[in-house]
Amino acid sequence: MGTADDNLDAYPVANSADIAKQVPVIDIAAVVQDASSADARNAVDKIAAACRDWGFFQVLNHGVSSQLVQETWSQTRAFFTQPTAVKEQSLRTRENPWGYYNNELTKNQRDKKEVFDYTTDGPDPIYQAENRWPEMSPEFATTMRAYRDACTDLGLSLLEAFCAGLDLPADYMRSDFARYHTGFIRLNYYPVKDPMGASTIEHLAVADLGIHHHTDAGALTVLLQDDVGGLQVFKDGFWHNVAPIEDALVINTGDMMQVWSNDFYQAAVHRVLAMETRDRFSIPFFFNPSATTTVDPLPTVVSDSRPARYRTIPWCDFRGQRTDGDYADYGPEVQISQFKIAAS
Ligand code: OGA
Ligand code: NI
CATH of the domain at 274: 2.60.120.330
213 C-alpha to center of ligand 2: Å? 8
3-state DSSP assignment of residue 4: helix
Whether residue 297 has pLDDT greater than 50: yes
Q: What average pLDDT does this structure show over 72-86?
A: 96
Which range, of 13-17, 18-22, 167-171, 305-309, averages the lowest pLDDT? 18-22
Per 3-state DSSP, the chain is made up of helix, strand and coil in percentages (nearest 5) of: 30, 20, 45
Give the per-residue pLDDT at 334: 86
121: confidence class by pLDDT, cuts 50, 70, 90: very high
- Residue 313 CB-density burial (10 A; 0-12 exposed, 13-18 middle, 19+ buried): buried
| Angle, helix 139-165 to helix 41-53, in steps of 10 degrees | 90
42 C-alpha to center of ligand 1: Å? 28
Q: Which residues surround ligand 2, an ion (CB under 5 A)?
A: 216
Of all protein residues, the one whose alpha carbon is nearest to atom 1 of ligand 1 is 284
pLDDT higher at 221 or 178: 221
Mean pLDDT of all residues in the chain?
Answer: 89
Ordered DSSP codes for 289-308 = -BTT-EE---GGG--SSS--
Mutate to test the pocket of ligand 1, among 104, 272, 326, 333 (most ligand atoms within 8 A of CB): 272
Give the per-residue pLDDT at 178: 83
Ligand 1 atom nearest to CA at 225: 8
Give the per-residue pLDDT at 1: 36
H/E stretch holding 185:
strand 184-190
202: confidence class by pLDDT, cuts 50, 70, 90: very low
Mutate to test the pocket of ligand 1, among 56, 151, 231 (most ligand atoms within 8 A of CB): 231
| Residue 141, in any domain of the structure | yes
| Residue 344, in any domain of the structure | no
149: confidence class by pLDDT, cuts 50, 70, 90: very high
Give the per-residue pLDDT at 33: 96
| Residue 170, in any domain of the structure | yes
210 C-alpha to center of ligand 1: Å? 9
Ordered DSSP codes for 266-335 = ----EEEEPPSSS-EEEEEEEE--BTT-EE---GGG--SSS---B--EEHHHHHHHHHHHHHS--SSPP-
175 C-alpha to center of ligand 1: Å? 27
203: confidence class by pLDDT, cuts 50, 70, 90: very low
| Residue 85, in any domain of the structure | yes
| Residue 3, in any domain of the structure | no
Residues 303-330 have pLDDT tens digits of 999 999 999 999 999 998 887 656 665 5
The number of folded domains in the chain is: 1
Q: What average pLDDT does this structure show over 213-223?
A: 96
Of all protein residues, the one whose alpha carbon is nearest to atom 9 of ligand 1 is 284
pTM of the model as a whole: 0.92
Residue 331 CB contacts under 8 Å (≥ 6 apart), including other chains: 325
196: confidence class by pLDDT, cuts 50, 70, 90: low
Ligand 1 atom nearest to CA at 186: 5
- How many Cα atoms occupy the beta-carbon half-sphere of 206 within 13 Å? 12
Per-residue CA distances from 86 to 139, 302, 334 (Å)? 17, 52, 33
Q: What average pLDDT does this structure show over 226-247?
A: 96
Closest-approaching ligand to the CA atom of 273:
1
Q: Where are the alpha helices (DSSP H) in 88-188?
A: 139-165, 174-177
211: confidence class by pLDDT, cuts 50, 70, 90: confident
| Residue 1, in any domain of the structure | no
342: confidence class by pLDDT, cuts 50, 70, 90: confident
Ligand 1 environment, Cβ below 6 A: 186, 188, 211, 216, 223, 225, 231, 270, 272, 282, 284
Ligand 1 atom nearest to CA at 210: 10
344 C-alpha to center of ligand 2: Å? 32
| Residue 217, in any domain of the structure | yes
Give the per-residue pLDDT at 326: 61
Contact 134/140 with Cβ under 8 angstroms?
yes
In whole angstroms, what is the distance from residue 99 CA to residue 90 CA? Answer: 5
Closest-approaching ligand to the CA atom of 254:
2
| Residue 325, in any domain of the structure | yes
Residue span of the structural domain in which 331 resides: 8-339
Give the per-residue pLDDT at 111: 62
Give the per-residue pLDDT at 12: 92
220 C-alpha to center of ligand 2: Å? 10
217: confidence class by pLDDT, cuts 50, 70, 90: very high
